[in-house]
Structure 1
Amino acid sequence: MTTATGVGSLPGTTAAGYAEAVRLVLDGLPDLPHVPELPGRGVTAGMTGRALAITDGLAADLQPAGWRLTDASGVDHRRARSLLAQDLDAVEELAQGYEGTFKTQVAGPWTLAATVEKPRGDKVLSDHGARRDLAQALAEGVAVHLADLRRRIVGVDRWIVQVDEPALAAVANAQVPTASGFGRHRRVDPPELSEHLEWVVEAVTAAGAEAWVHSCAPQTPWSLVAGTGASGLSADLDMLGPADLDTFAEALDSGRTAALGIVPSTDLAAAPSDARLTERVQRWLDMLGLDPQTSGEHLVVTPTCGLAGATPAWAALAVRLSATVARNL
């Protein structure tokens, strides 16, 4: 059976808004709800702050240039951890009695390396040892995070961890700017790119969950991602090139999940019909020579990217459209 889920982020700026987001995913995505993210509440609720709150054994603080690793956790790092705990309290309360599959999200090791600074400045990406330590701390923290989620929502029999890597393409193609802004960090070789992702994927798998890797950025090296052992690939369908289509087809053929972002994630003057979106997925399957009857159970329908930039009304519509298209398929 084809299912639907969200990428992760939703609009909202308050605790009450977070509770509404939880209700939206529980009601609108009953087969595969997810832990919502509301980055509109500030940097401590953003993708990087959220991941640093999960990362185990490393301290951080917020500087004018962004998040930086430090010897001791600063006030903003402690706030990020506190906010995560409060959010999980809300999920635990509202998901009482839920049974089935649930998804959570965390920024991946390369996105963290491209957005977090070393103690003396410049990105973690610039230092081989620092990026290794950060990736390993993230892998350890994800396992702890999963154990916490299992204690909170006891009816879930299948956990999915979506590893968000929007910066992976920039890292792989030497497009991450240096601190001065006048240069670019050197590209990371594919074996190291793969290894760091594998650490996180393996930690998720060892904890008894499934690891999906998500990116809605163009030029993401999907063949490399598929080689890490991730059980799911999640992308904006418009961002996939010809070679990527083959990678996604092979993933479906091998029984892995392909999460296709097809529902617009920002407001449009007129929403696309569910029939049109359904037909698009069917055409995509036909182009790849895949049988919808056999591939459908491994397909997941999502918005094209996170919904933090949408209005609440559009976010709710995108959730409903995703679920309707999944049912159609």
Structure 2
Amino acid sequence: MSEKNEFSGCPATGIGSMPGGDAREAAKTVTGSFADGQGMPYLAELPARGPGADMIGRTVGLLVEMYGHLQPSGWRTSDRPGRDTRRARSWLGEDLDALEEFTQGYEGLLKVQAVGPWTLAAALELRGGEAMLADPGACRDLAGSLAEGLRAHLAEVRRRMPGAKVVLQLDEPSLTTVLLGRVRSASGYRTYRAVDRQIVEAALRDVLAAAGEHGTTLVHSCAPEVPYALLRRAGADGISLDFSLLTEREEEAIGEAVEGGTHLFLGVVPSTDAASGGLSDPGGSVMGVRTLWSRLGLDPGTLAESVTITPSCGLAGASPAYARTALAHSARAARSLADNPE
């Protein structure tokens, strides 16, 4: 596992998805928004292109000796790679080509995203139509396949962008529902049994380890009730969350995470045009973060080294113009936080 505070030079970043279907335009936006040390560029996902470009489809395309195809109900396991898997891999290659073009000579942090093993197990169906989550053996196989696929993917990114320090982000929006037994079955009339926390933690640890001995990792969830302590034990260097969903009950866990060296990626910038109400005050966007720091009794001087500012979630539902604005605003809000911590 990497040393803590690997993210201290990363004031802002995005979550992953972007609007539209132009890989070059997306790469240009995410690299340009975070140029000159303003933040961490990332490999954009463009789900508007269709199935295979969505976050589940992209990650299915990364699996090793495990394949998927589309059904009306979603992604389902296959014996061999078909058209849907090939399309997912082709779009990933297109996105990597575009990012490589716009990161020539880049030597900072660079993020790639994949769906984590438990959200994937909740979304990917077995041949009979039930989620892989229903079969403990299938979940183990899935985590192993994902870890192997991520090792190959990260090696490819490092080969293409040799000066960058590659960061792995696992997206786990379904993690809490898996832990609490709230994932609904295919019929919708029942829920799958809650998965033991130790099993969940072990699988996450194995997949995060795909980043390598000196790799840097974070786990993102835009859902309520993020299991902070579990993610820290699993080895995540950072935790990414929608700040608006944070409850008073979770604040103690946030304080413990910060004091333990875990970096926080706080989603304070709305991810869609309609929710934004206009983005005119970078300082106002991070006022809640300052207030939280004060309430927890944390040193305000540590804000810049402990927090990265992001949109609340992916930007696929935004207009291209607003997506650019949201990323630029995240960088400005991060500067405000660093310049005026009190």
Q: TM-score, normalised by structure 2?
A: 0.91
The Cα of 1:310 is off from its aligned counterpart by 0.9
Structure-1 residue corresponding to 2:170: 163
1:60-109 deviation line (CA, Å, top 9, x unaligned): 21122211111111110111111111111111112112121111100000
Aligned equivalents of 1:41, 1:2: Cα separation in 2: 29
Structure-2 residue corresponding to 1:175: 182
Tell me whether 1:217 sits opposite 2:223 in the alignment.
Answer: yes
Tell me whether 1:250 sits opposite 2:256 in the alignment.
Answer: yes
Q: Which runs of 5+ in 1 are unaligned?
A: none
Aligned equivalents of 1:299, 1:286: Cα separation in 2: 14
- Higher mean Cα deviation, 29-38 or 267-276? 267-276
Tell me whether 1:314 sits opposite 2:319 in the alignment.
Answer: no
Question: Is the Cα–Cα contact under 8 Å of residues 277 and 325 in structure 1 kept in the other structure?
Answer: yes
Aligned equivalents of 2:116, 2:58: Cα separation in 1: 11
| 3-state SS, counterpart of residue 212 of structure 1 | strand
Q: Which runs of 5+ in 2 are unaligned?
A: 1-8, 338-342
Structure-2 residue corresponding to 1:63: 71
The Cα of 1:243 is off from its aligned counterpart by 4.0
Which of the residues 206, 217, 223 maps onto 1:199? 206
1:32-52 deviation line (CA, Å, top 9, x unaligned): 111111111111100100111
Aligned equivalents of 1:2, 1:293: Cα separation in 2: 16
| 3-state SS, counterpart of residue 26 of structure 1 | helix
The Cα of 1:172 is off from its aligned counterpart by 1.5
- Higher mean Cα deviation, 238-247 or 24-33? 238-247
Aligned amino acid, residue 77 of structure 1: T
Structure-2 residue corresponding to 1:28: 33
Question: Is the Cα–Cα contact under 8 Å of residues 171 and 188 in structure 1 kept in the other structure?
Answer: yes
The Cα of 1:277 is off from its aligned counterpart by 1.3
| 3-state SS, counterpart of residue 44 of structure 1 | coil
- Higher mean Cα deviation, 297-306 or 237-246? 237-246
| 3-state SS, counterpart of residue 3 of structure 1 | coil
Aligned amino acid, residue 278 of structure 1: V
Aligned amino acid, residue 142 of structure 2: L
Aligned identity (percent) is 44
Which of the residues 264, 268, 271 maps onto 2:279? 271
| 3-state SS, counterpart of residue 54 of structure 1 | coil
Which of the residues 107, 118, 140 maps onto 1:99? 107
The Cα of 1:269 is off from its aligned counterpart by 3.6
The Cα of 1:121 is off from its aligned counterpart by 2.2
Flag the 1:318–1:92 CA change in 2: closer, same or farther, 3 A: same
1:184-240 deviation line (CA, Å, top 9, x unaligned): 11111111111111111122243x321100001012322222221111011011222
Aligned amino acid, residue 307 of structure 2: L
Structure-1 residue corresponding to 2:297: 289
1:273-319 deviation line (CA, Å, top 9, x unaligned): 11201322211211111112234212100001111111112111110
Matched positions, count:
324
Flag the 1:218–1:151 CA change in 2: closer, same or farther, 3 A: same
Q: List 4+ stretches of structure 1 deviating above 6 A.
A: none
Aligned amino acid, residue 146 of structure 1: L
Question: Is the Cα–Cα contact under 8 Å of residues 233 and 248 in structure 1 kept in the other structure?
Answer: no
Aligned equivalents of 2:300, 2:42: Cα separation in 1: 25
When the two chains are superposed, the root-mean-square deviation of aligned CA atoms in Å is: 1.4
Question: Is the Cα–Cα contact under 8 Å of residues 205 and 211 in structure 1 kept in the other structure?
Answer: no
Q: TM-score, normalised by structure 1?
A: 0.94
